[in-house]
Amino acid sequence: MRHGDKEAAVRRLLDTPHPPVPRDLGARAAARGGRVRRRERALRRAGGVLAGLVALGFTVWAAEVRPWEPPPAATTPPFAGP
């Protein structure tokens, strides 16, 4: 399709009567956008709280188990009693 044909098609489309738009369309769109923004903010906060709890749980586990220390020996040295 040549550029002139595209331009003519757009002009024909724009020359037709436009469909009616509901009067409250802007208000409904703003309300929906507000709901979406609040939902995303709540999910972001919940994810942050969850990440914090996971980090806290890992820290408590690591402090209790001490995985960086070598495990105790499986055998004990012989006892040379008195």
For residue 44, tell me if it sits in a domain. Answer: yes
- Number of independent structural domains in the chain: 1
For residue 11, tell me if it sits in a domain. Answer: no
Q: Which residue in this structure is represented by tokens 């002009």?
A: 11
User: Does 82 score more than 80 pLDDT?
Assistant: no
pLDDT digits 0-9 by tens, 5-61: 899 999 998 998 888 999 999 999 999 999 999 999 999 999 999 999 999 999 999
Its pTM stands at: 0.60
Greater pLDDT, 60 or 78 = 60
| pLDDT the model gives residue 65 | 92
Q: Please give the residue range of the domain that contains residue 41.
A: 27-66
For residue 20, tell me if it sits in a domain. Answer: no
For residue 80, tell me if it sits in a domain. Answer: no
| CB environment 1-25: b (16+ within 10 A), e (fewer) | eeeeeeeeeeeeeeeeeeeeeeeee
For residue 78, tell me if it sits in a domain. Answer: no
For residue 62, tell me if it sits in a domain. Answer: yes
For residue 35, tell me if it sits in a domain. Answer: yes
